[in-house]
């Protein structure tokens, strides 16, 4: 019988969960355990999910056990399954038929395999740069972007004082930093800016002893080509599920 626990940081099972996520290299699971989240799990911790304060749901363990726990959130109207492994996809589609789904490819890079070069000077982003990033990022959530710029390093290339290319970090655990937001304004493409800022940020990540990770939508051929050029290696596909916002 599944159990509901209040907060992962205050329960005796936290270390077992950390060991579990370490073994399966579920980096997002590690991230959630470092933050304020609830846990729903089945007997012996063989499956369930972490539930974030912003309605993120991160499956772990056996798919059957994860499925048995979903009753706890079956009626929620605000729900988001980010970076889901393939074995959980059929269950989510069955239990939440109204969710939209998009596929991404997950890549990681290590210092030993990284091949990027800094071809143009980059400098740290400011909190005020979130407004520019939000205009070009498909989610457009300026508060989220501001929170990332406050927490993690981010770099951009400027034409005078105009920000024309940028990259930042979404999340970070003890082992990995997930890069994102990469964008170069159209008239500045073809100058190596994407490689330059990605290389700058990756080097900063490597200095902390972490590896770098990135999710790229499966239809974004150009970004996947760049990732491979820089030395990122494909790990697996991940799937993202969410309810479309009603206008």
Q: Give the model confidence (pLDDT) of 72-110 as tens digits.
A: 888 888 899 999 999 999 999 999 998 999 999 999 999
Contact yes or no for 70/91 (Cβ under 8 A): yes
The rounded distance, in Å, linking the Cα atoms of 180 and 215 is 8
Confidence of residue 45 (pLDDT cuts 50, 70, 90): low
* C-alpha closest to that of 198 among 104, 83, 114: 114
39 assigned to some structural domain = yes
Same domain, 90 and 170: no
The rounded distance, in Å, linking the Cα atoms of 207 and 194 is 20
Same domain, 83 and 142: no
Where a domain ends, among 37, 67, 97? 97
Percent of the chain clearing pLDDT 70 (strictly above): 83
Q: Who has greater pLDDT, 7 or 129? A: 129
Exposed/middle/buried for residue 125 (C-beta within 10 Å: 0-12, 13-18, 19+): buried
Packing angle between helix 193-207 and helix 221-230, nearest 10 degrees?
50
Structure confidence by residue, pLDDT tens digits, 178-190:
999 999 999 999 9
Domain that holds residue 147: 108-237
Is the model's pLDDT at 17 over the cut of 70? Answer: no
The rounded distance, in Å, linking the Cα atoms of 156 and 166 is 4
Q: Who has greater pLDDT, 55 or 165? A: 165
Is the model's pLDDT at 12 over the cut of 80? Answer: no
Same domain, 92 and 199: no
pLDDT at position 78 is 86
Structure confidence by residue, pLDDT tens digits, 198-240:
999 999 999 999 999 999 999 999 999 999 999 999 999 999 9
Q: Who has greater pLDDT, 138 or 147? A: 147
244 assigned to some structural domain = no
For range 116-127, the mean pLDDT: 96
199 assigned to some structural domain = yes
Side-chain half-sphere CA neighbours of 153 within 13 A = 18
43 assigned to some structural domain = yes
CA angle centred on 114, ends 149 and 238, rounded to 5°? 65
pLDDT at position 104 is 97
Q: Who has greater pLDDT, 53 or 241? A: 241
Cβ-based neighbour number of residue 180 at 10 Å: 19
pLDDT at position 52 is 83
CATH number at residue 136: 3.40.630.30
pLDDT at position 199 is 98
- Give the SS3 label for residue 17: helix
Supply the DSSP symbol for 160: T
Q: In the numeric block, which tokens belong to residue 220? A: 């974004």
Q: Of 46-50, 56-60, 222-226, where does mean pLDDT reach its minimum?
A: 46-50
Whole-prediction pTM: 0.85
Q: In the numeric block, which tokens belong to residue 200? A: 């700058």
Exposed/middle/buried for residue 13 (C-beta within 10 Å: 0-12, 13-18, 19+): middle
pLDDT at position 23 is 55
Q: Who has greater pLDDT, 55 or 231? A: 231
Where a domain ends, among 71, 97, 123? 97
* C-alpha closest to that of 185 among 115, 135, 235: 135
Q: In the numeric block, which tokens belong to residue 166? A: 């940028």
Chain-wide mean pLDDT for the chain? Answer: 86
Q: How many domains, the chain?
A: 2
Cβ-based neighbour number of residue 43 at 10 Å: 12
Same domain, 140 and 75: no
Where a domain ends, among 38, 70, 97? 97
């Amino acid at each position: 019988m599944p159990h509901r626990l209040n907060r992962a940081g205050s329960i005796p099972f936290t270390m077992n969960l950390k060991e579990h996520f370490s073994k399966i290299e579920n980096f997002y699971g590690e991230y959630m355990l470092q933050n304020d989240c609830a846990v729903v799990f089945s007997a012996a911790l063989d499956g369930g999910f972490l539930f974030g304060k912003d309605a993120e749901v991160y499956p772990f363990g056996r798919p059957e056990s994860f499925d048995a726990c979903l009753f706890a959130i079956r009626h929620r109207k605000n729900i988001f399954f980010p970076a889901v492994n393939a074995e959980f996809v059929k269950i989510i589609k069955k239990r939440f038929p109204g969710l939209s789904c998009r596929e991404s490819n997950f890549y990681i890079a290590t210092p030993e395999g990284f091949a990027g070069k800094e071809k143009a000077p980059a400098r740290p982003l400011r909190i005020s740069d979130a407004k520019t990033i939000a205009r070009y990022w498909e989610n457009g959530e300026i508060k989220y972007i501001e929170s990332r710029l406050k927490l993690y390093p981010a770099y951009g290339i400027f034409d005078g004082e105009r920000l024309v290319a940028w990259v930042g970090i979404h999340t970070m655990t003890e082992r990995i930093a997930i890069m994102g937001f990469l964008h170069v304004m159209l008239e500045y493409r073809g100058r190596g800016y994407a490689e330059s800022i990605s290389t700058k940020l990756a080097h900063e990540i490597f200095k902390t002893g972490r590896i770098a990770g990135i999710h790229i939508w499966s239809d974004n051929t150009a970004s996947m080509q760049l990732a491979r050029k820089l030395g990122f290696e494909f790990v697996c596909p991940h799937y993202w599920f969410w309810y479309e916002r009603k206008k």
